[in-house]
Amino acid sequence: MNNAETVIVLDFGGQYKQLIARRVRECGVYCEIHPYTLSADRIREMSPKGIILTGGPNSVYEEGSPSCGRELFELGIPVLGICYGSQLMAHVLGGEVRHADVSEYGHTELYVMPEDPADSSIMKDVSGRSVCWMSHTDRIFAVPSGFETTARTDVCPVAAMEDRERKLFAVQFHPEVEHTEEGMKIFRNFLYGACGCSGSWKMSSFIETSVRDLKEKIGTGQVLLGLSGGVDSSVAAALLSRAVGRQLTCVFVDHGLLRKNEADEVEAVFGKEGDFDLNFVRVNAAERFYLKLAGVSDPEMKRKIIGAEFISVFTEEAKKLGKVDFLAQGTIYPDVVESGTGNGGAVIKSHHNVGGLPDHLDFKEVIEPLRMLFKDEVRSLGLELGLPRKLVYRQPFPGPGLGVRIVGDITAEKVRIVQEADAIFRQELDRAGIDTGKGQFFAALTNMRSVGVMGDGRTYDYAVALRGVLTNDFMTASACEIPWDALQTCMNRIIGEVGGVNRVFYDLTSKPPGTIELE
Ligand code: XMP
């Protein structure tokens, strides 16, 4: 541990551990997550400024539950226990934790007591009455000696407790979850007040730490990264380039299903003319993909073909490089959560999950330098590393690309139509000042052709669907209200400028029942 000001999060199996780490980083304090089994001796050696105990699904009083020794609380290091962590603190120090008849879940009214907490309390400046997020069945029935109750709810008489003398603090609720209105005050009180942190850590410090760790790990080895042009793999490339320069080779496969000019834009950033020190290999494989996809209209089949072909191309290129020691990936924290292996198992995300990892590639280890970060953190890291804003704030784009935005079979002609229409749509959204950062906006090609009249002639052309959805988590989404003028301009421009289109629809479907992509 090389940071002068580090806080350790001890993981007891809680689902919010990364969110806790993120809140600590938001307070400008470097944070590391470790398993709860980290020994007190090792912690003493690391000498962190503070320790946070996470929640977890177990009951502290049951045999075999994740636990810790009393010495953790006797190191003289401030400790904040959250949920299970708070119960563990109570249990280990002689308080009483039991199953409660009434459990609490969700938004809950929190009453701070006394209403004007002491200066050294982590409840300082928290309103007497606010809303917190609860999720528990067990609870603290009696606080250990030396502790004072500092908050309650209607159901839970000990929603927070502390022993300010020993700098031990506990909250039954989740201050890290945004539903807890004043959660950040509690983190700030703990970090700046109890732990005495200065809050001077920045994303640039993350770069320093990561670059040093990556250098150490990679040594003189060769690293291969599949670059998709999306935010995550681009930021991973920039970071690795900073660490190991030309020991990094980025393979960028243009499968012919990218957005208009996207391949050239990626090359402009990472290729010879770009600002990054790395080996950049661009593979123009469009023809190969179109050939494999010819006549295939089943959506799943298309996805499988694109995925498999992608792996073939990527593997062929990788083999040309000779021995590769590390395969790097732009996995970020939400990917780790989604795949359900948040507890440290390797998560394999290859090129936007196009088709999994090339399993016949020989390498020592997978490196995922962004796996602790949330999307917005990845974006600020990207800017800090000098990536263009346009790339860093790029719209999410699926691995199979336009392949899932062309209903039915794929041809070069259809790809051209959807690329052109999509570029116009995005330009007009920009012009209309629509905030596209809150969702996903794109054009798709329906497989429908219909009769129209242009000039004096009859047309029998395609219908383009414009789609704009607002979403927080991409699991649910609703159509974005786009000003009529902007839609009409798009319609006029697309029909006028994109050959082969004579109708434009706006897709109003929410998810569910629809999906965001068309296929
Ligand atoms: P759907 O269409 O399932 O999309 O509502 C939800 C989000 O996932 C993206 N998406 C994909 N991303 N590989 C990816 O990397 C895929 O195969 C894929 N399919 C959908 C989609 O763009 C949206 O952001």
Residue 81 CA to residue 86 CA, distance in Å, equals 4
Distance 72 CA to ligand 1 centre (A): 44
Last residue of a domain, one of 194, 217, 244: 194
Distance 158 CA to ligand 1 centre (A): 43
Q: Dump pLDDT digits (tens) for 109-132.
A: 999 998 889 999 999 999 999 999
Write the residue with the smallest CA distance to atom 7 of ligand 1: 474
pLDDT at 119: 93
403: Cβ below 6 Å to ligand 1? Answer: no
Tell me whether residue 517 is in a domain: no
Kindly give the number of the ligand 1 atom that is closest to the alpha carbon of 515: 5
Q: What is the pTM of this model?
A: 0.81
66: Cβ below 6 Å to ligand 1? Answer: no
3-state secondary structure of 505: strand
Write the residue with the smallest CA distance to atom 8 of ligand 1: 398
Which structure tokens are listed for 280? 């950049």
Residue 1 CA to residue 7 CA, distance in Å, equals 10
Same domain, 114 and 241: no
Which structure tokens are listed for 307? 């995925």
What is the band of 360 on the pLDDT scale with cuts at 50, 70, 90? low
What is the band of 351 on the pLDDT scale with cuts at 50, 70, 90? very low
Q: Chain-wide mean pLDDT for the chain?
A: 92
Last residue of a domain, one of 145, 164, 194: 194
Burial class (CB in 10 A: 0-12, 13-18, 19+), 405: buried
Same domain, 501 and 363: no
Which structure tokens are listed for 519? 């296929």
334: Cβ below 6 Å to ligand 1? Answer: no
Please name the residue that has the structure tokens 């834009």: 265
Tell me whether residue 370 is in a domain: yes
Contacts of 378 (CB under 8 A, 6+ apart): 231, 232, 235, 332, 370
353: Cβ below 6 Å to ligand 1? Answer: yes
Tell me whether residue 410 is in a domain: yes
Contacts of 208 (CB under 8 A, 6+ apart): none
Distance 265 CA to ligand 1 centre (A): 22
3-state secondary structure of 246: helix
What is the band of 83 on the pLDDT scale with cuts at 50, 70, 90? very high
Distance 295 CA to ligand 1 centre (A): 23
Distance 351 CA to ligand 1 centre (A): 13
Tell me whether residue 15 is in a domain: yes
Q: What percent of the chain has pLDDT over 70?
A: 94
Which residues are 224's β-sheet partners? 249, 327
Same domain, 387 and 423: no
What are the φ/ψ torsions at residue 255 (nearest 5 degrees)? -85, 10
Please name the residue that has the structure tokens 């289109």: 501
Kindly give the number of the ligand 1 atom that is closest to the alpha carbon of 397: 22
221: Cβ below 6 Å to ligand 1? Answer: no
CB atoms within 10 A of CB 282: 18
Last residue of a domain, one of 358, 392, 426: 392
Longest Cα–Cα distance of the chain, Å, equals: 91
Distance 252 CA to ligand 1 centre (A): 20
Domain of 498, CATH number, reads: 3.30.300.10
pLDDT at 354: 39
Domain of 257, CATH number, reads: 3.40.50.620
pLDDT at 358: 61
49: Cβ below 6 Å to ligand 1? Answer: no
Distance 401 CA to ligand 1 centre (A): 9
339: containing domain: 203-392
Evaluate if residue 344 carries a pLDDT over 50: no
Tell me whether residue 220 is in a domain: yes
Residue 369 CA to residue 380 CA, distance in Å, equals 15
Same domain, 233 and 182: no
Same domain, 328 and 449: no
Are the CB atoms for 284 and 314 separated by under 8 Å? no
Evaluate if residue 345 carries a pLDDT over 50: no
Residue 174 CA to residue 87 CA, distance in Å, equals 13
Alpha carbon of 277 to those of 241, 274, 371, 424: distances in Å? 6, 8, 23, 33
Same domain, 187 and 255: no
Could you tell me which of 258, 307, 254 has the C-alpha nearest to residue 284?
254
Pocket probe for ligand 1: among 397, 470, 474, 476, the residue whose CB has the most ligand atoms within 8 Å is 474
299: Cβ below 6 Å to ligand 1? Answer: no
172: Cβ below 6 Å to ligand 1? Answer: no
pLDDT at 486: 98
Which structure tokens are listed for 508? 């109003």
H or E, element range at 30: strand 30-35
Pocket probe for ligand 1: among 516, 518, 519, the residue whose CB has the most ligand atoms within 8 Å is 516
The amino acid present at 76, given as its one-letter code, is G
Same domain, 148 and 219: no
Compute the half-sphere exposure of residue 216: CA atoms within 13 Å on the CB side of its CA.
7
Question: CA Rg, the chain, in Å?
Answer: 27
400: Cβ below 6 Å to ligand 1? Answer: yes
Domain of 28, CATH number, reads: 3.40.50.880
Are the CB atoms for 13 and 57 separated by under 8 Å? yes
Q: Dump pLDDT digits (tens) for 34-48.
A: 999 999 999 999 999
14: Cβ below 6 Å to ligand 1? Answer: no
Write the residue with the smallest CA distance to atom 19 of ligand 1: 398
Tell me whether residue 514 is in a domain: no
Are the CB atoms for 120 and 80 separated by under 8 Å? no
Are the CB atoms for 16 and 176 separated by under 8 Å? yes
pLDDT at 476: 87
Q: Dump pLDDT digits (tens) for 186-229.
A: 999 999 999 999 999 898 889 999 999 999 999 999 999 999 98
Write the residue with the smallest CA distance to atom 4 of ligand 1: 516
Number of domains in the chain: 3
Evaluate if residue 484 carries a pLDDT over 50: yes
Q: Give, as one character, the DSSP assignment of residue 74.
A: G
Write the residue with the smallest CA distance to atom 11 of ligand 1: 398
Are the CB atoms for 292 and 305 separated by under 8 Å? yes
Tell me whether residue 518 is in a domain: no
Residue 130 CA to residue 109 CA, distance in Å, equals 6
Are the CB atoms for 399 and 228 separated by under 8 Å? yes
Same domain, 116 and 31: yes
Q: Kindly state the average pLDDT of the residues 63-86.
A: 97
Evaluate if residue 32 carries a pLDDT over 90: no
Same domain, 417 and 502: yes
Please name the residue that has the structure tokens 């784009």: 397
515: Cβ below 6 Å to ligand 1? Answer: yes
Same domain, 175 and 212: no
Residue 210 CA to residue 457 CA, distance in Å, equals 62
Same domain, 174 and 233: no
Same domain, 218 and 183: no
Distance 517 CA to ligand 1 centre (A): 7
507: Cβ below 6 Å to ligand 1? Answer: no
476: Cβ below 6 Å to ligand 1? Answer: no
Residues belonging to the active site: 83, 174, 176
Q: Dump pLDDT digits (tens) for 399-439.
A: 999 999 999 999 999 999 999 999 999 999 999 999 998 89
Tell me whether residue 398 is in a domain: no
230: Cβ below 6 Å to ligand 1? Answer: no
Distance 287 CA to ligand 1 centre (A): 24
Distance 286 CA to ligand 1 centre (A): 21
